Amino acid sequence: MKKTKVLGVCVNDYGGEGIPLVFVHSFPMSGRMWDKQVEYFSEKYRVITYDIRGLGESTTEDNVYSMEKLVNDFFHILNSLKVQKVNACGLSMGGYILLRAILKDTERFNSLILVNTKANKDDDDILLKRSSAVIKIQSGGREAYLQKLLPKLIPDNNPEMEKLVKDIISENTDEGICGNLLALSTRISTIDKLQELNTPILLLSGKDDRINTEAESENMFHHIKEGRKHPIFTSLINIKNCGHLCNLERPEEFNKILGWFLKGIEIGT
C-alpha cells in the first residue's frame, strides 16, 4: 500500500490491476471504515481509499470549506494518481460527494455505488441542527453531540462495531468535524439531474438506517430509471436488519453484493 498526500488529503493506494475501485467514507469517519472492503477487493481491483479533508489523517489548518471543495479533492486525487476512470463507492457523505462529482464529469466514472445516501438537499430543520452541532462542539460539547449521533450509526448489541466506530471518530479533531458539518450544509440538491446519468449505478440501502431512509434510495432509483434511454445496469438493493454503516455491520453481505454488481458490469461490457 502506498500512502500519499494530495493537497493535504491522505490517500491510500493499494495497487493492483484493472479499473480502480475508489471508496469514499461517511461522516464523521475516515478511510479506515473500508478495511474489510480493501481486504476483499484488493486482489482483483486497484483499491483506493482516502480520508476526506479535515478527517482522519487529512488534518488541515483551514477547516472552513464547502461541499464543492470536497468534490474537487476527489478529482485532484484521481489526477494525482493518473487515473482516468473509476468504479466509485460512497456511503452517506461519500455518496453526496460522488453524486456531485459524476454530474460534473460523468466520463471519469465506470460505475457508481451509492450507499445509504440521498440526492435531495437537506431541509431547514437539518441545517439548523448542523449549525447547532458546530456551536456545541466549539463550546466543548463534542461528547454530548456524539452521544446523540452514535446511536444512529451503531446498531444495538454490537460492541465490536461500537468500539471500532468510536475509535475511528476519536482520531478526528473538533475543527475537522465542524469543518465537515459546514461542508454538509453547503450541499446542493442533485435529484433533478439524476435522469441525465448514463452510468451503471447500484443503490444500497439498510432497511434500518436511522439517517438516510430506504425511501430516499427508492426516490433516487425512480429518478435514475426514469431517464434511462438505453438498458444500462441499474439496481436497488435493500439490506434487511441493517443500519447506516452497513459495510461495517454486514461486511460479508455488503462485499458479495458489490462484487456481484462489479462482475455484472464486466460481463455487460
pLDDT digits (tens, 9 = 90+) for 106-156: 999 999 999 999 999 999 999 999 999 999 999 999 999 999 999 999 998
Alpha-carbon span 261 to 153, nearest angstrom: 25
Element containing residue 4 per DSSP (H, E) = strand 2-6
Q: pLDDT tens for residues 164-177?
A: 999 999 999 999 99
Q: pLDDT tens for residues 78-117?
A: 999 999 999 999 999 999 999 999 999 999 999 999 999 9
Q: Considering the chain, what is the average pLDDT of its residues?
A: 94
CB proximity list for 31: less than 8 A, separation 6 or greater:
10, 12, 23, 25, 49, 50, 51, 56
**pLDDT value, residue 53:** 97
Structure letter (DSSP) for residue 212: S
Residue 268 has pLDDT above 70, yes or no: no
**pLDDT value, residue 230:** 64
pTM: predicted TM-score of the whole model, two decimal places: 0.96
Question: Can you list the domains of the chain with their CATH numbers?
Answer: 2-268 (3.40.50.1820)
Alpha-carbon span 23 to 33, nearest angstrom: 10
Amino acid at the residue 217: S
Q: Which of 253, 249, 247, 197 is nearest to 220 (CA)?
A: 197
Q: What is the mean pLDDT of residues 1-23?
A: 93
CB proximity list for 159: less than 8 A, separation 6 or greater:
none
